[in-house]
Amino acid sequence: MKNMTMNDRMKLMFREFVFNEKPKKMITEVNGLALPEDYLAFMQEHDGGEGPLGENNYGRFFRLQVRFPAVWKSSSSGWMRN
């Protein structure tokens, strides 16, 4: 494993992970905060998924695909639409 490239290590880690389909359109920010570019690049290819990561871990990445007409945000009176 010492001579493996980062890409090879990622393929090995995600070998049993079940990816979602590529999104048609996805969000890029949450409550006005931009999501990290490397995370967006990953999600743009797969739009999340779920499954084993490596030998002893499990991961779930929720979809970023736009499905709702409104974005919800927190306020002093509870949750409200933007």
**Residue 1 domain-assigned?**
no
Note the pLDDT of residue 7: 87
Domain that holds residue 49: 6-81
47 neighbors 21 (Cβ within 8 angstroms): yes
pTM for the structure as a whole: 0.58
User: How many domains does the structure of the chain reveal?
Assistant: 1
**Residue 72 domain-assigned?**
yes
Note the pLDDT of residue 63: 85
Note the pLDDT of residue 57: 92
**Residue 50 domain-assigned?**
yes
**Residue 21 domain-assigned?**
yes
CA angle 38, 8, 4 (to 5 degrees): 120
- Segments of the chain scoring below 70 in pLDDT: 1, 66-82
**Residue 70 domain-assigned?**
yes
**Residue 60: CB partners within 8 Å, gap ≥ 6?**
48, 49, 50
